[in-house]
Structure 1
Amino acid sequence: MAEISAKLARSGRAEDVPEALQGIEEMSELIPIAREVAEVAGPLLLQLRRVDPDASVADAVMLAASRSREAFLVSGDRCFEGQRDVLKA
């Protein structure tokens, strides 16, 4: 959600942040970051950066968190190309 907020703010749409985040909350299951997610995220970041050198720690955390729940991640980010459990947005 922080990534959505930052992207909207960068594009001059900071006023849209509350509504956008509310929509995400209503349509999604928010997953807290647990130690297990953090442990998986580090090595996962290395894997994502092989596809996209600009992949962020947040990208790895989001994918690790979704996998911890056996859920799909919805994203259009290039770093997720080829990941079996990512749906292209």
Structure 2
Amino acid sequence: MKRLLVSLIAALVLAFPIAIAIGRNPWFGRWMAYGHGWDAFDPLLNFFGVVGVEGEGDVVVNTLLIVSFVLSFALAWFIFGAVKRIRQRKAQ
């Protein structure tokens, strides 16, 4: 339970910086600029019935935040487990 709680808190803290890092990455900008990104987001845009530029941006930003939260949770879960194993090995 402790590992889950610590991982969730760390994921909440790290989600925004990771989303910013993904959004500012040059490959992401090229991917979106050449239209491949919009092709990938097309099913989500159709699912939510988005019409207009503002709605498209909201879907992209929210997707980035969800992906960054999942990545940060996995990273925090892995680091917490690794630290726990290292402490157990040192205790023995």
- Fold shared by both chains (TM-score > 0.5): no
Structure with the higher fraction of residues in helix conformation: 2
TM-score norm. by structure 1 comes to 0.37
TM-score norm. by structure 2 comes to 0.36
Q: Greater CA radius of gyration, 1 or 2?
A: 2
Structure with the higher fraction of residues in strand conformation: 1
- The structure showing larger relative contact order (alpha-carbon pairs under 8 Å, at least 6 residues apart) is 2
